[in-house]
Amino acid sequence: MNLSDRIHDRTVRDTLQVLRYEAGLSKRVLAHLRGLERDLKAALADAGDIRTKKRLNALLKEAQEAIRDRYAGAQGVYDQEIPQFVSAQAESMRATLNGLVKVDIFRHSLTTEQIQAIASDTLITGAPSAEWWAAQSSDTLAKFTRIVRMGMLQGQTGDEMAREVRDMMGTSMRNAQSLVRTSVITTNNAAHMALYDANADVLKGVQWSSTLDMRTCQECGALDAKTWEMGEKHPMPSLHFGCRCALLPVTKSFEELTGIKGLDDIPESTRASMDGQVASSTTYLEWLGRQDAATKADILGPGRARLLESGKISLSDLVDQRGNELTLADLRKR
Ligand SMILES: [Zn+2]
């Protein structure tokens, strides 16, 4: 295996660990929206006869405040953790790459300002995460308002409206989870790209990997294994909600690195593998097949490892990391 293939293997592993972190972060975020469901149902139950304009307006005002506060809480969890996540990811990728080469060729870390900027300004499929949170919050308010007004017009009971609120909140929570997942993956890619840019002196370019993009859309599938030179314009993953694509660094060959100060002692064992070639494209199952038993068990969890052997499991089940969460501290410990 050349160095690029080994980097690819480790990047897939890294993305899986990111998905495990994301599963835990989603839970912490969704706790706020579960609270919102309780708030809205309680407000509805306490509202009394909403056919009077005064009571209806009081209910909508209470709902508006609850939605604003709970979404602020949900977004707050995300905003608080993401800078630490960016920092942990950039540093762990740097350590991983240096570990593979056995010499610190990636010499530059991200600055605190860069980390903050990546956390707050990265565009999540076209808009900063703050805009997505605001859009989801106002969507939830619009839907709740519609449920109450239609319920009133159609003479629905409180229970009937509460059921509609429950269904609506189910959708809101799925949207929030999808936003968290896509934001985490996109931010991870932005952190890695900033790290590659900071260490451009040792890189030939970057390469797209769709290995973990289970629902690979045509656009992502067509990009798999495509490469760009450093400084060349290229698309950034995630390209769509739920995209799990990643960018891999393609290092210069050993010959191309000679002459760069401080990089003369790359060990013999690494030199040959630094052939400047790009990584071969690989499917998730091929990747999984190459991992040792401990890694498989770690990524799958013991139950799913058994299901895999018996063939009772689908590909997307294998990538799902719910129930297998990692904390920020775990990410830093790697
Ligand atoms: Zn993708």
pLDDT tens for 246-293 read 999 999 988 888 777 777 778 887 888 888 888 988 888 888 888 888
Element containing residue 297 per DSSP (H, E): helix 293-309
Calpha distance 221→240 (Å, rounded): 12
The alpha carbon of 248 and the centre of ligand 1 are apart by a number of angstroms equal to 14
What pLDDT is recorded for position 105?
Answer: 92
pLDDT of residue 314: 73
On average, the pLDDT of the chain sits at 91
* Cα 86 to middle of ligand 1, angstroms: 20
Quote the distance between the C-alpha of residue 256 and its chain's center.
Answer: 34
Q: How many domains does the chain have?
A: 1
pLDDT at residue 325, as a whole number:
86
State the pLDDT at residue 169.
98
Distance from Cα 217 to the centre of ligand 1, integer Å: 7
**Predicted pLDDT at 170:** 98
> What is the rounded average pLDDT of the residues 22-32?
97
Task: Domain of residue 278: give its range.
Answer: 3-333
- How is residue 113 written in tokens? 């300002």
Helix locations, 158-229, DSSP H: 158-198, 218-223
Strand order in the sheet with 246-251: 227-229, 203-209, 246-251
Mean pLDDT of 169-198: 97
SS3 59: helix
Percent of the chain at pLDDT > 70 equals 98
118 within 8 A of 86, measured Cβ to Cβ: yes
**Beta bridge partners of residue 208, listed in sequence order:** 247
Q: Which two tokens stand for residue 334?
A: 């790697």
CA 245 / ligand 1 centre spacing (Å): 4
CB burial of 258-279 (b: ≥16 within 10 Å; e: otherwise) equals eeeeebeebeeebbebbebebb
pLDDT beyond 90 at 91: yes
pLDDT tens across 125-134, in order?
A: 999 999 999 9
Q: Distance between CA 187 and CA 112 in Å, rounded?
A: 15
Angle at 81 between CA 76 and CA 86, to 5 degrees: 135
State yes or no: pLDDT of 332 exceeds 70: yes
Distance CA 76, CA 253 (A): 44
Distance in Å, CA 242 to ligand 1 centroid: 8
Q: Tokens 């309680």 correspond to what residue? A: 42
| Strand partners for 116 | none
Model confidence pLDDT, tens digit, residues 309-330: 777 777 777 777 887 888 888 8
Cα 29 to averaged position of ligand 1 atoms, centre (Å) = 24
Residue type, 294: A
